[in-house]
Structure 1
Amino acid sequence: MHQLQEKRRDPVLDAWLRRACRRGRQAQRVLAPLMPARGYFPDFLTPAAASGGLECGIEAVLCTPRHQLRAEVTLLSVRNPLPTWARALADGETGTLHQLGKALRQYHDSVLAPAWQDIASRIEADRLHRTRTQCSIDTEAMLRTFAPLLRWQRPVLAADYPVDRDVHLQGRGLLLVPSYFCRNTPVALLNEGLPPVLVYPARTGRPPPPSAAGSRLAPLLGHTRAAVLQTLHEPRTTSELARHAGVSLSSASEHATVLRKAGLITSTRERHRVRHTLTPLGVDLLAGRA
């Protein structure tokens, strides 16, 4: 919903946006006031129970305690004009809640479901990359794969965020959620009494075809280094990097060192191997995004 309201369209989501804007307009009109593109939006719209699937999530929204509905809708109204029915929603009026549930279901069916295969594949690729690192090395190595978006400095995980804020886990776990739609900075729940969640942009997948990216980057990086960078459209070990880029093992290692120092890739040791991965900056450079 935030992306549909953005004036500056993200090229990564461009194809999805063109389709989505033609669908589910009625549901979008209902939901848009509750989900402004900037600033606060209610925590009750992203319940933890949604991990059990769409219907579990909608049921959790409909069962939100009245005191939470009232507090969060009131907070939303401070900086956002709300429709008249928002008062009934804040009071937990049954009919209004069911209309909200209907809109959420219609929105999913018309806007998200047609693109779900692409969404799910990108999320799964991100999750596989993180969990493989965590299982083969440890959790701290996994946290370092988020650089430069997230910065792990034991015992603090730091992130660029619209407001200056500290979240103390106090022994609770942190749920890291890869998002197809989250673009620039991570998103966290406002209510610190809820289970801690951090939503972050999922890895954006493959860059443009090598010919397009290579022609732009070769004069800047040199043909070989540009080829090495392009080869990392998916994580590779140094030997895999050498084989796919057509260079020697020592040359691949040297180029990876330069690209890592430039902030374009990260390198994670996995026992006797080193695996190289594009950073968000490296992905954007290959895609030609500012």
Structure 2
Amino acid sequence: MIQQTIIYAQTGINTKKPIQTFHVDGKNDNSSTATPSPSQQKNDFVVTANGNVGIGTIYPVTKLEVNGDVRITDVPALPTMPKKILVLDADGNLFYTDVANVAPPLDTRIYSIINKTSRQFLPQRNVFYNLEFDGPVEGVNADKLVVSADKKKLFLPPKKTLKLTGSIGIIGAAINPTKTNPAYIISQFELQNFNNDGSHQLVTTIGYTESSTENYDDGGVSMPIIIVRTGSKGANVILNVKYNGIDSPTNGYYIGGAANDDTLASYILIEEI
């Protein structure tokens, strides 16, 4: 007669009191009578009856639970941008999510202002000119933004999605600028992509700034906006402005610089989105 016997047991290595189906006590510091303390569990390895693996914990609640640091080396570079990535939630759970759902930390993104300090003369009515930004570049990661030597171009860093919002201030007429010379300023961003590397604009709007002494109601202030996705080599952006209006002077007009009691400030706000 052949008798078959199946034995169910827990296997322990370096421990006389295994807690799970397979239990390794790395430092052999567990009690033989009591459940290991949290500090003793830090060098333990277990496999539970339902197949969960615990490292540094003897009660894993997921397929792999690690209580401690994890190091991964020799990871090959991805040939293309992944659609999903692994993320860690507040409870320490690791899971897949779409790349679009994960925003980079705020302190790694660009939130900056490019200032205009001095007023700028526009010689002719209804002619576009490049707005010049002669003031400081300030904000979060402002060092990633570069203004050209002539102060007319803004160089944007590569592989970014950026929203640029302009503010245009009005001073007045060319001779003795006062508020008695009504006019309005049209403004619009222009993406100059000379690199042919995939940079393109997603959204653009026209800005409008009206002086306070217009004798007819045709507007107020609206900001020029452009949303740009830069390619592998970055992109250049300029802000074009012109003045016009039935009663505007023909001998030129002034754009404001820094803000004061008489004019709006001129600047560009840049936000990474």
TM-score w.r.t. the length of structure 1 is 0.23
In our comparison, the structure showing a higher alpha carbon Rg is 2
Say which structure is richer in strand: 2
Greater relative CO, 1 or 2 (CA 8 Å, sep 6+): 2
